[in-house]
Chains A and B, each alone.
Chain A
Amino acid sequence: MKDVIIIGAGVCGCAIADALGEYGCNVAVVERASDVACGATKANSGIVHGGFDATAGTLKAKFNALGNPMFDELSKQLDFPFRRNGAYVLAFDRAGIDGLEALLERGRANGIKDLERVDGDTVRLRNPHVSKSVTAALYCPSSGIVSPYEMTIALAERANMRGAEFIFNTGVTAISRRGSVMTVDCTGGKSYAARMVINCAGVHADEVAAAAGVHDFTIRGRRGEYYLLDKTQSYLTDATLFQLPTSLGKGVLVAPTVHGNVLVGPTALDTDDKDGVATTAAGLEEAMSKGRLSVPSISARSAITQFVGVRAHCDKDDFIIGMSSLQGFYNVAGIESPGLTSAPAIARYVAAEVAAYLSLKRKTDFITVRKGIPCFAAMSDEERAELIASDSRYGKIVCRCECVTEGEIIDSIMRPLGARDIDGVKRRTRAGMGRCQSGFCSPTVIQLIADTLGVPVQSVTKCGAGSYAVTGRI
């Protein structure tokens, strides 16, 4: 029997599994998809928010303020890309200037320091491509950017090193309690027992709660469509550019990614299809036209891809964190923005609560450092030469756009919680993330997955069940 079963391997599930490792807690993470970070975690803005936006007194405000400062150390320990690039909230008219004032006050109430009011000319002096129609802005230097899936993969790997078991391709059908034992029934007739269950099921958290007989909240899917622009567009902005919400609606952001691309989006549209991640012509057009309000020279022609994320919006408009009406069934639900920023702080809090409930003591010695896959693209010539000397497969460049080697791709498959499909390799190594969008490297990546795992090419998928890359042998 496990101490804890976590349902869902998004950023919260993985961060909690990792944090529980500090208590020597026996954890299993049950995940419906074939990999970690497959839901909202992989498809969001990747912003480490400053914390001025949430209403004071909410859990969003609390965990945002606690989470943001944790990223410097966490990103070093776990070896994932993070950078404090600063953010501006742009106002476009006089009413907006009042809005910025309100935001500034809210930020101060949340304990956020170093917020600065700047006028339009100052914004443009620092960010020359910002629109002339921007009248003023609120500047937050502590805002940062992170690769959300790389962060989650890193958390999951360290959790795994600390003993957490990950069970993929497994959905939850029912959760029950008998005496002090919780039972989680899963697809495929599997069943797991634990002393406690933590619901980190993202957009499906209300359905998982309902499977446990807990009906006190509902989650709506809120679609957000994004454009990802080529690295050649990185000159457009180095800071994250938010738009102050206006009567015309919530704006979109224009932000650099940690890898040097530019992100434009997201739109916000409530949906009943929580797994619906298809892009729409209307949504993409909206993202692009709103993005151009901030940076008029953005062009859809420089796009390399588009995607949709579905946020888990809770009817209570705040995070739901705590033991549910069913003893032993703990909710971590409604984790929409600033959920990514909050995740490390939520995990620390939840782990302490769980430890108290299960009477576990924090260990004094546990693994802290997780080393990522060597990143050939970021190395100097000398470092590259040394790496190739250690293993010649690092001298075979497979993804030419992002300069990813065969050695890195094999690493990504061989390591703990390794990649099992094309998208898994892509998220771990960036093979296929570049401007040709895997046109050149995908046949090689498919072959490497098959060879490394010892499976036929026909069984290699893009992202798990059914998403076959090829349909048969010639």
Chain B
Amino acid sequence: MINCESRSVVVIGGGPAGLSAAIAAFDAGAKDVLVLERDTRLGGILNQCIHNGFGLTLFKSELTGPEYAARLIDMASERGIECRLNTTVVSVAPDKTITCVSEEGVFSITADAIVLTCGCRERPRGAIGIAGARCAGVYTAGTAQKLVNIMGYMAGRECVILGSGDIGLIMARRMTLQGAKVRAVLEIMPRASGLMRNVVQCLNDYDIPLMTSHTVVDVLSQGGRVSGVVAAKVDNDMRPIAGSEFLLPCDTLLLSVGLIPETELAREAGIGLHRVTGGAEVDDTLMSNIDGIFCAGNMLHVHDLADYACLESEVAGKRAAEYAINGGVTRGAFTSVECGDGIRYAVPMKILSSGSGSITFTARPSAEYALGRICIEADGEEIYSKREAGIRPATMLRYVLNSAQSDKLRSASRICIKVRE
């Protein structure tokens, strides 16, 4: 009664990262690719991102989320890649056996290689411990976005948004366009955490105040729904300053306080997770510590652009196909990538000495620099360097090294990425 089958490459998650991985795997020669998607449609969170601004790098044009998804869906369907919808993967075993559930029953699929592209989830109220009433009207920004853009219901009439992540900024504009009053966006850090273009286009253009170094210290309710929030200024340690509290009347509090890689399946499969990203730890082929299981997209680390998530996933898809076609790879020694000054984390976390081809680095800065130089060093020797203006934690850095530079890293016993002023 449990159906069994086997596949060369199985991609778990049919969002932009998953579709990109599947397309790349197919193009690299894996003809038996299967995408498993739990939602009723492909495209993932892009479907609810009806604003434009997607695809500038990948498609050289400005698309909305659904348009962007449609392009990837078309590319997958042109290749005849099988995508199974309404199918939730409930477990992934280290031997690459996948168990999934759909209305048709329970399925067991053995894969030669797996790409995990499960995306991420929003940090909820409880994870940051906002005190106050436990009433209706507190939503994460993405949940509100689904209510508004997919279901067609207003999440609220008067909003305060805590956190200036990109979805929060986008939702500030979206709620305003839909006739709601957005009183303010509060950000506990001294600077916005979303992209600068979103601050300009979503807040400044609509006269929505961005109050940095502010947080919500209390949620008030009346009749079962939010009636206001108490905001306060925070000190340098991000602690609320007594006496600085003020009331912002509202019926809705939207939270955009961080995204967390969705690692439930990865964890159960025994995949090692990274202390800083919360996502998987991978080598330069984007393979996890479990042979044949690759990770990419927001499940690996949270990206600020869908394009970069897709480009990353193409690497994972291609490598997964190679793994499946070659019947595995032998991974030899590796060198861990150290994060030096100004770098919070970098992907990949380790470089295999046995590999070949070009290595792509993505890195998240830990501080702001008006002008800086990103350096990648092998055994103390600078093998890659790029001048960057306006380095900030909200903007991910991405560098594609050429083969010669990549090979230098492969033979190094110490690798470091850092910002020099």
Q: Kindly list chain B residues whose C-beta atoms are within 8 Å of the C-beta of A388.
A: 101, 103-106
Q: How far, in whole Å, are A393 and B122 apart by their CA atoms in the complex?
A: 27
| Docked complex: A252-269 residues within 8 A CB-CB of B | none
Stretch at the interface among B128-136, B182-190, B287-295, B311-319: B128-136
B371 within 8 A of A: no
B127 within 8 A of A: yes
CB distance from A403 to the nearest CB of B (A): 7
Q: Are B104 and A395 in contact (CB under 8 A)?
A: yes
B43 within 8 A of A: no
Q: Are A303 and B129 in contact (CB under 8 A)?
A: yes
Q: Are A457 and B225 in contact (CB under 8 A)?
A: no
CB distance from B111 to the nearest CB of A (A): 17
Q: Kindly list chain A residues whose C-beta atoms are within 8 Å of the C-beta of B267.
A: 232
B218-260 vs A, Cβ < 8 Å mask (1 yes, 0 no):
1101111100000000000000100000000001100000000
Q: Are A284 and B131 in contact (CB under 8 A)?
A: yes
B121-145 vs A, Cβ < 8 Å mask (1 yes, 0 no):
1101111010111111001101100
Stretch at the interface among B28-36, B54-62, B147-155: B147-155
A451-474 vs B, Cβ < 8 Å mask (1 yes, 0 no):
000000110011111111111111
Given A385-B106, A464-B224, A470-B155, A443–B101 Cβ distance below 8 Å?
Answer: no
| Docked complex: A205-236 residues within 8 A CB-CB of B | 227-228, 232
Given A447-B151, A462-B136, A436–B88 Cβ distance below 8 Å?
Answer: no
| CB-CB nearest in chain A for B125 | A437
Q: Are A306 and B126 in contact (CB under 8 A)?
A: yes
CB distance from B134 to the nearest CB of A (A): 6
Q: CB within 8 A of A471: which of B38, B90, B122, B157?
A: B157
Q: Are B103 and A393 in contact (CB under 8 A)?
A: yes
CB distance from B89 to the nearest CB of A (A): 10
Q: How far, in whole Å, are A320 and B102 apart by their CA atoms in the complex?
A: 52
CB distance from A110 to the nearest CB of B (A): 36
Q: Are B151 and A462 in contact (CB under 8 A)?
A: no
Q: How far, in whole Å, are A400 and B135 apart by their CA atoms in the complex?
A: 23
Q: How far, in whole Å, are A458 and B154 apart by their CA atoms in the complex?
A: 9
Q: Are B134 and A395 in contact (CB under 8 A)?
A: no
A277 within 8 A of B: yes
B45-75 vs A, Cβ < 8 Å mask (1 yes, 0 no):
0000000000000000000000000000000
Q: CB within 8 A of A461: which of B2, B105, B178, B224?
A: B224
A396 within 8 A of B: yes
Given A278-B132, A278-B133, A279-B131, A389–B1 Cβ distance below 8 Å?
Answer: yes
- Is the interface on chain A under 10, 10 to 19, 20 to 34, or 35 or more residues? 35 or more
Q: CB within 8 A of B121: which of A228, A436, A458, A462?
A: A436
Q: How far, in whole Å, are A462 and B143 apart by their CA atoms in the complex?
A: 15
B217 within 8 A of A: yes
CB distance from A239 to the nearest CB of B (A): 24
A272 within 8 A of B: no
| CB-CB nearest in chain B for A227 | B129
A392 within 8 A of B: yes
Q: Are B136 and A463 in contact (CB under 8 A)?
A: yes
Given A396-B86, A397-B101, A400-B38, A467–B136 Cβ distance below 8 Å?
Answer: yes
B411 within 8 A of A: no
Q: How far, in whole Å, are A457 and B157 apart by their CA atoms in the complex?
A: 16
Q: Kindly list chain B residues whose C-beta atoms are within 8 Å of the C-beta of A284.
A: 129, 131
Q: Kindly list chain A residues whose C-beta atoms are within 8 Å of the C-beta of B136.
A: 461-463, 467-469
Q: Are B134 and A307 in contact (CB under 8 A)?
A: yes
A55 within 8 A of B: no
Q: Which 9 A-B pairs have the closest CB atoms?
A: A467-B224, A305-B126, A466-B223, A466-B224, A437-B124, A462-B136, A392-B103, A467-B136, A470-B153
Task: Supply 13 further A-B pairs (C-beta < 8 A) apart from A463-B136, A467-B223.
Answer: A278-B219, A280-B218, A284-B131, A300-B129, A305-B125, A392-B103, A397-B38, A440-B121, A443-B151, A447-B151, A461-B136, A468-B136, A471-B157
Interface residues of B (CB under 8 A from A): 1-2, 38, 86, 88, 90, 99, 101-106, 108, 121-122, 124-127, 129, 131-136, 139-140, 142-143, 146-148, 150-157, 178, 217-219, 221-225, 240, 251-252, 264, 267
